[in-house]
Amino acid sequence: MGIVTDQLVLRRRSRHNRKVRLDIMLHGGTLIVDVTIYRRKNGRWYIRFWLNGQRRMLSTGEADYDKALLKIKEIVQRAGDPKTARRQSPITFSQLAKEFEQYIEKRWMPSTVENDKSRLKNLRKEFGNKKVSEITEHQLTTYLERRKDKTVVRIKDGTRYEQKINVCTVNRELTTIKLIFKFAEDKGYIATNPAQKIIPFPIVHNHGDFYTFNERMGLTEEELYRLLEACKLSDNPILYEIVKVAVLSGLRKGELQRLTWDDVDFRRNLLRVRQTKTKTVFYKPMPDELREVLLALRNKYPHAHYVFCNSDDTAYGDWRRSFKTACKWAGLKDVCFHMLRHTCFSILGDKGYSDLEIQAYSGHKSLSMVRRYTHISPKHVQQMADSLGAKVVQLEKGS
């Protein structure tokens, strides 16, 4: 089957054969280009091809397959023509940021949207009036370096002091930068994402006996025990239950705060989770221990709407301060509530469950995110090493 349009020939055997060969007029001659056409999760068709020794990946802007095919000639010719290649969208960064905010407001949870809007304020000050197509990787890297070295004034107990911006804060800004330029690339405002290859700044995590870079580990068994014991002494009457449910379920803080008794199905042993980031819902099975904790809470507050509530049945709100105090009593440093999510999936990893099995429980969209949250403990790695050593010794003895 073939479609002929001017100097363009598209050859394909079926709709499932995404390999396309183009004969196009370029610089006065005919050039044969092999193109792969593929569909992304946003529903649009993209093309991937080699031109002048460079691998190009561009959007057709079309969700319809046949319409996308008919636009390939124009896209490849524009990419190969030096004049048209320099002709980019005149949209400024401020205009792009406004469009991006409208996009995420319809798709993400309000808390996530507000965080990204806050980070965009600094980016608007730096790049607001610049054309998106003129912003380079070097400019973005320079901006992030300045942000990392910048100091801000803090006030604590009436005393003013200067403090450097946390590296994690700068890395979150980089995440937002990558997202907004990826959005611009998908919209066709730019040919390539200038932030795509920028690497986050390294973060050193002290785990007592060892250090890791850019990797937040879960709590060890001993650390988790100390934390749970400290939670029992807290002024927050339900902190122990909150922490235990977080470890047993792996839910995010926002998901726990919004959890209502309508989301708990004791008959089918399921939790309905309204995800923090993506406005989606999935169902998570409850282990027996989690079921017992929730039943005890239900008996304690039989008329409550929210699972974690005050004595007057209103949502408890934020437990950051009481959690921080419990960590201090437990002798834990640099621990945040989100580490309990890492702890949950790391325990499953230590138990020998595969990434695919953990994904079914965690609700992550991709295995790469599962791997980001699942950390094999040093104790488990040591056991693996000892097993390997024992096996080698056994082989040497010929047994």
**Residue 182 shares a structural domain with residue 230:** no
**Residue 328 shares a structural domain with residue 365:** yes
Q: Residue 142 belongs to what domain range?
A: 93-187
Give the pLDDT confidence score for residue 261 in this predicted structure: 93
What is the C-alpha end-to-end distance of the chain, expressed in Å? 64
Separation between Cα atoms, residue 236 and residue 290, nearest integer Å: 20
396 located within any domain: no
50 located within any domain: yes
Residue 376 Cα distances to 133, 213, 301, 334, 338, angstroms: 43, 15, 38, 19, 17
Looking at residue 306, the DSSP 8-state letter turns out to be B
Residue 78 Cα distances to 14, 51, 186, angstroms: 27, 11, 17
Looking at residue 93, the DSSP 8-state letter turns out to be H
Is 25 within 8 Å of 38 (Cβ atoms)?
Answer: no
**Residue 254 shares a structural domain with residue 366:** yes
392 located within any domain: no
Beta strand pairing status for 281-285 and 54-59?
A: unpaired
Helix (H, G, I), strand (E, B) or coil at 388: helix
**Residue 308 shares a structural domain with residue 377:** yes
Nearest CA to 332 out of 217, 172, 170, 238 is that of 217
Looking at residue 279, the DSSP 8-state letter turns out to be S
For 263, the token pair is: 């989301």
399 located within any domain: no
Strand order across the 54-59 sheet: 19-26, 29-39, 45-51, 54-59
Give the pLDDT confidence score for residue 204 in this predicted structure: 60
Number of domains in the chain: 3
The residue type of 185 is: E
198 located within any domain: no
**Residue 242 shares a structural domain with residue 376:** yes
- Which of 166, 187, 208 is a domain's end point? 187
Give the pLDDT confidence score for residue 225 in this predicted structure: 93
61 located within any domain: yes
Give the pLDDT confidence score for residue 85 in this predicted structure: 45
For 107, the token pair is: 């798709």
**Residue 339 shares a structural domain with residue 290:** yes
Which residue numbers in the chain have pLDDT < 70? 1-32, 52-54, 80-89, 156-157, 203-217, 275-279, 368-382, 384, 388, 391-392, 395-396, 398-399
**Residue 71 shares a structural domain with residue 101:** no
Separation between Cα atoms, residue 184 and residue 43, nearest integer Å: 16
C-alpha of 106 from chain center? 18
Q: Residues 229-261, buried b or exposed e (16+ Cβ, 10 A)? A: ebbeebebebbbbbbbbbbbbbbbbbbbbbbeb
**Residue 9 shares a structural domain with residue 56:** yes
Nearest CA to 122 out of 100, 93, 102 is that of 93
**Residue 252 shares a structural domain with residue 328:** yes
The residues that bridge with 159 in the sheet, in sequence order, are 156
**Residue 238 shares a structural domain with residue 363:** yes
Q: Where are the alpha helices (DSSP H) in 13-105?
A: 65-80, 82-85, 93-105
- Which of 136, 170, 187 is a domain's end point? 187
Question: What's 255's domain CATH number?
Answer: 1.10.443.10
**Residue 69 shares a structural domain with residue 99:** no
393 located within any domain: no
